[in-house]
Amino acid sequence: MGGGASVLIDRLLDLGFETVAVLDISGTALETARARLGRRSGAVRWIEADVTEAGDIGTFDIWHDRAVFHFLTEAADRARYVELARRTVPAGGHLIVATFADEGPRRCSDLDVCRYNPGSLASEFGNGFSLVGGAGETHTTPWGFQQAFTYGVFVRR
């Protein structure tokens, strides 16, 4: 989720993952990643969509979101995101969500955000996912600012 121009997709392909998809609201970000991957981009399913409006995107054993969920400040948008995750991740699959931590910034890219800890993330995902791990990270932006992140790792029940 929100893969954009991230190099995570490159790393997954390097490791031999065969079914890889990237969803992002920005076609420009997706095109940047496609161009960077060159001919390997054909091995990726590219999905340009708003995660709160996406329909059936298939099923995946691992859902990775680094920094999308915290932008969903409306409860209805978070509920749609969680419902998509429930439809997409099969029983036994994993959901990895990284958001701003409780002590992280209140705004990012001129947008309000929600902040979380592993427990509050677990409350958002509620029925259907069990929290199996959580961690914190201090991310340094390209401009040298530090931002506190929290990660929640869930298994689909």
Average pLDDT over every residue of 13-19: 92
**Tokens of residue 100, six digits:** 């701003």
Average pLDDT over every residue of 125-151: 94
d(C-alpha 107, C-alpha 69), whole Å: 13
Q: Does the pLDDT value for residue 37 go beyond 80?
A: yes
d(C-alpha 10, C-alpha 40), whole Å: 9
pTM of the model: 0.92
H-helix or E-strand spanning residue 46: strand 44-48
Look at residue 66 in the predicted model and tell me its pLDDT. Answer: 85
Write out the residue limits of the CATH 3.40.50.150 domain(s) in the chain. Answer: 59-156
d(C-alpha 136, C-alpha 112), whole Å: 21
- Angle of helix 118-125 relative to helix 75-88, nearest 10 degrees, comes to 80
Alpha helix (H) ranges present in the chain? Answer: 8-14, 27-37, 75-88, 118-125
38-49 pLDDT, tens per residue? 999 999 999 999
Q: Which residue from 150, 102, 154, 101 is spatially nearest to 126, judged by alpha carbons?
A: 154
| CATH level 3 topology of 59-156 | Rossmann fold (3.40.50)
79-134 pLDDT, tens per residue? 999 999 999 999 999 999 999 999 999 999 899 999 999 999 999 998 899 999 99
